[in-house]
Amino acid sequence: MNEKKIIDAGMGREACDLNLENCRLVDLLRGEIRSGVNVSVLDGFVVGVDDGLKARETIDLAGLYLAPSLIDAHMHVESSMLTPSEYARLVAPLGTGSVVADPHEIVNVLGYDGMRFMLSASEDLPLDMYFMVPSCVPATSFDTSGAVFHASDMHPFIGDPRVLGLGEVMNYPGVLGNDPELHDKLALFRAAGKPIDGHAPGLSGAALSAYVAAGIGSDHECATAEEAREKIGKGMYVMLREGSTTRDLRNLVPAIDRGTAHRFLLCSDDRHPDDLVDEGNLDNSLRALLAAGVDPIDAFRIACQNPAAWFNLRGVGAIAPGYRADFVAFESLGDFRAKLVFKRGAKIAEDGKLLAPVARPIPSVRDSVNVKWLSADDFKIPAEGKKIRVIAARPDSVVTGVTVAEPRVVDGLCESDVARDFLKIFVIERHIGSGNIGQGFIHGLGLKRGAIGGTVSHDSHNMIVAGVDDASIFKVARHLNKIKGGFVFAVGNEIILDLPLPIAGLMSDRDAEFVIGRLREFEEAFAREGLSNPTPLMTLSFMGLPVIPSLKLTDRGLIDVDAFSPVSLWAE
């Protein structure tokens, strides 16, 4: 910002770039909506509000509401399966002006190179993409990731202006148990005065207090209004999550009132590209808040002002002199839809469409799928007992149950049982060629023939495959290696469908339309197959996540997440 130039314009000695006239200003500083307001902009910053300034261009908003652009407080670009530029192309026209991304998916795969890739690939976009440094690489000691991120690896990123703090601290047992390496990371960011995001589903009482006392100030895992109130009362910001798989916003609305509204934020966490197109992004969350009867000022403070406060983003989150000219204009509080979007004072989108293409080259990254040693025999599970533990998957949830049952045994080997929907599932280490393969069974996918698999498998993103027969499972694994990662559905030796994700096995190098089209083809194929689970690939992608209860599978075997310890496939 050129302060002298701004002052000259503010005093009328120099013309502004733009006047937005006759708007209904959503004034988050005074807590009211003001009609007939004029906003003046120069060099991407607000110069004056109703100050009678001259400008080289004037746009009459004709009574449209004008609010600050929305801020996504916690998200993973990788979950969209798109590059940052393609992600921005979808969400910027919807009114999202800034996102705070935690790239722990790609950093778990590529380490330091993954962090550098995201910073480089997200420059000069029609939204501001900030980053939190991933705190849990690997997420736990129960699986094998592609990298280890120590506090010393994080230090070079602290001075980057787009790096805001430390990403979600999922290993809350490590915090409470005073794990020295984790506390080195916490100390590094506390000393730098940077915010530290949390991840503590269900944590309560004295354990929650100790977690917060370690310097962790936010959480996006609240599932009930009571949990949200407790966490706010202990000093945390609570993020209202509306992702593709986990949707907590409506459950938390009862906790929002005049006393608590200043401690809530919006976040999308993991949102898939088809949902971004079909439902929207933060605009969808804002519509939900307004429809639930949340006061409009409170709703926009949650969407704009509160995240700016938590992340120490100065000059963001309101419309006032010296603030960035990042605006969204819309027609109705009853059905929020972005009519016009302004970034740094320039109109970048109208009626949900960007006005200029996003040209952003994709930085190169190394191949990250290194599974070249498999044989069909790797998928045989010898019968070694009478009862097995089975992962009980639930549609639209990352939480699993546990079923104990007798396996179907043929010639001394445990086989899938389609009649009971018990399928073999494997997690194959894909980063360092260790040869690790975790074996298990899963209920709830509904697959009746063939196999499905992917390299999107939170958080270490090893190859994960489930299926009815060994030949199909083997074919899926081999094809995933061939396409450098992605999703695959195969029956026997035939590939029915694939979606290549060659960037770290997580993101496509194609445009959003290709990715969404292929995802829809998967949906249609699974519907033809008669699957009871409407999103089996997404469900499968969370079955290797050993920080979400109750039973999960990693490349090292089954994990009892409630006990936070490995457990045998055999229940005796």
Confidence of residue 535 (pLDDT cuts 50, 70, 90): confident
User: Residue 164 — φ and ψ, nearest 5°?
Assistant: -95, -25
Mean pLDDT over each residue of the chain, to the nearest integer: 95
**Contact between 35 and 24 (Cβ < 8 Å):** yes
Predicted local distance difference test score (pLDDT) of residue 2: 86
d(CA 304, CA 301): 5
Confidence of residue 97 (pLDDT cuts 50, 70, 90): very high
User: Residue 40 — φ and ψ, nearest 5°?
Assistant: -110, 140
Nearest to 525 by CA among 482, 495, 502: 495
1 vs 425 pLDDT, higher one: 425
Q: Report which secondary-structure segment, H or E, holds 278.
A: helix 273-278
pLDDT in tens, 451-469: 999 999 988 999 999 999 9
Confidence of residue 160 (pLDDT cuts 50, 70, 90): very high
Parallel, antiparallel or unpaired: strands 237-241 and 96-101 = unpaired
What is the arithmetic mean of pLDDT over 194-208?
96
User: Residue 435 — φ and ψ, nearest 5°?
Assistant: 85, 0
Predicted local distance difference test score (pLDDT) of residue 168: 96
Nearest to 485 by CA among 459, 509, 456, 460: 456
Confidence of residue 18 (pLDDT cuts 50, 70, 90): very high
d(CA 511, CA 551): 36
372 vs 276 pLDDT, higher one: 276
d(CA 369, CA 392): 28
d(CA 397, CA 279): 19
Q: Report which secondary-structure segment, H or E, holds 5.
A: helix 3-10
Distances (CA, A) of 172 to 211, 223, 265, 367: 7, 17, 21, 32
CA dihedral 527, 528, 529, 531 (to 10 degrees): 20
Q: What's the per-residue H, E or C state across 343-389? A: ECCEEEEECCEECCCCCCCCCCCCCCCCCCCCCHHHHCEECCCCCEE
How far does the chain reach from its first CA to its final CA, in angstroms? 68
| Type of residue found at 258 | R
**Contact between 9 and 42 (Cβ < 8 Å):** yes
What is the arithmetic mean of pLDDT over 549-555?
94
User: Residue 481 — φ and ψ, nearest 5°?
Assistant: -65, -40
**pLDDT at residue 376 greater than cutoff 90:** no
Task: Go through the domains of the chain in sequence order and give each one's CATH number.
Answer: 1-63+319-351 (2.30.40.10), 70-313 (3.20.20.140), 376-566 (no CATH)
| Type of residue found at 290 | L
Predicted local distance difference test score (pLDDT) of residue 171: 87
- Beta carbons within 10 angstroms of residue 314's beta carbon: 10
In DSSP terms, which residues pair with 487 in a beta bridge? 454, 499
What is the arithmetic mean of pLDDT over 367-383?
90
Nearest to 556 by CA among 482, 462, 466: 462
**pLDDT at residue 211 greater than cutoff 80:** yes
